[in-house]
Amino acid sequence: MTHRYPGNGHGSRGVYAALVLAALAASAALTYSLRAAAYAPPFNLQEVAPGNFVHLGKHVTFEDPDTDDIANIGFIVGEKCVAVVDTGGSVAVGRALRDAIRERTSAPICYVINTHSHFDHYFGNIAFRDDKPEFIGHQKLPEALGGDNAYVLEHFGKYLGEHPSNADIILPDRTVDSMLELDLGGKTLRLTAYPTAHTHSDLSVLDVDTGTFWLGDLLFRERLPSFDGSVLGWLKVIGTLEQEQGVRTVIPGHGPVGEELKAALADEKRYMETVVAEVRAQIADGKDIDEAVETVGLSERGRWQLWDQQHKRNVSRAYTELEWE
């Protein structure tokens, strides 16, 4: 299967002008990719800790054309090389991230780390393919991404290009079953794999020296968390995360960057504990799912964005999990 993307680097920056020209030569494909991608510049980026750069995603629905740019993504720069942490929900967002890296350093991109199996965090992987980095993910990421992705391709495939297929979904070259340390040159990253929580394949990245903790979607702030793996599992993992020492900067998968770890986790923890307690009460009281989705968690309404799109689904998922306790 050949890809219809003109390689990477269609930005107009310095030493990459040659690449840009090469890309422009493939003009049909390039025109298409610009049209298909919802993402449009400028690309926000901030250095939240020394060498740690974050691009903040938008809180929009999956129906919004900007839904390819909803996740927080970024990169960590060492003396030797660069590690990317999530690549965004489209080839265009991935390319914008790559351009942002190239504005700051010419160090090679050694690693592209995907924090879990949701498209808004990995569709941009393609933009880095020609850098030949090592793609890294949770031990269960290959099985989450490696099958038929008919559903995600049908609904979001346009962010991968004109004829999206399974071949456009890049699987990890290396997986993490519990912990893995990476040396970027003067910077050590500690990757930790978790049991089922937000998804079945959640991975965190800690920049040990600066205490910068990239949590992927194990942490939602402002945007309502979405239940996919197991809400009880997620609460357990939050308990584990809270124990982490020396964290000075917390980067969620969605929402603003925080400083104090426990405080940053507090909102989603309270939301999940509320849903779990109230769903358990509904089950004990003989209420079925259709009643539970109308009554559970209402005290949390108003504290979260995208409530109407996600909350009832969360309650339904929690119900089917908790009724077998």
Contacting residues toward another protein, per CB under 8 A: 143-148, 150-151, 155, 200, 228, 286, 288-290, 293, 312-313, 315-317, 320, 323-324
For 50-80, b/e burial (b = at least 16 CB within 10 A) is ebbbbbbbebbeeeeebbbbbbbbbbbbbee
Rounded to a whole number of angstroms, the minimum distance from the CB of residue 189 to another protein is 27
Q: 273 or 288, CB closer to another protein?
A: 288
CA distances from 58 to 23, 185, 200, 221, 283 (A): 28, 32, 24, 12, 35
CA distances from 325 to 236, 277, 291, 293, 317 (A): 15, 13, 19, 19, 14
Rounded to a whole number of angstroms, the minimum distance from the CB of residue 181 to another protein is 27
Q: 63 or 245, CB closer to another protein?
A: 63
Rounded to a whole number of angstroms, the minimum distance from the CB of residue 139 to another protein is 11
Residues 6 or more apart whose Cβ sits within 8 Å of residue 156? 62, 67, 68, 89, 119, 123
* Phi and psi angles of residue 89, each rounded to the nearest 5 degrees, phi first: -95, 15
Rounded to a whole number of angstroms, the minimum distance from the CB of residue 280 to another protein is 14
By C-alpha distance, which of 234, 242, 195 is closest to 218?
A: 234
Rounded to a whole number of angstroms, the minimum distance from the CB of residue 144 to another protein is 6
| Element housing 85 (H / E) | strand 82-85
Q: 164 or 252, CB closer to another protein?
A: 164
Rounded to a whole number of angstroms, the minimum distance from the CB of residue 128 to another protein is 23
Residue 49 to residue 33: CA distance in whole angstroms: 33
Residue 38 to residue 68: CA distance in whole angstroms: 7
Q: 50 or 147, CB closer to another protein?
A: 147
Q: 52 or 117, CB closer to another protein?
A: 117
Q: 169 or 261, CB closer to another protein?
A: 169
Token pair of 117 as six digits:
């199996």
Q: 172 or 252, CB closer to another protein?
A: 172
CA distances from 258 to 161, 218, 264 (A): 34, 14, 6
Q: 274 or 316, CB closer to another protein?
A: 316
| Element housing 175 (H / E) | strand 174-176
Q: 170 or 293, CB closer to another protein?
A: 293
- Please return the burial class of 282, using the count of CB atoms within 10 Å of its CB with bins 0-12, 13-18 and 19+: buried
Residue 278 to residue 231: CA distance in whole angstroms: 13
Rounded to a whole number of angstroms, the minimum distance from the CB of residue 193 to another protein is 15
Rounded to a whole number of angstroms, the minimum distance from the CB of residue 146 to another protein is 6
Rounded to a whole number of angstroms, the minimum distance from the CB of residue 159 to another protein is 17
Residue 71 to residue 45: CA distance in whole angstroms: 13
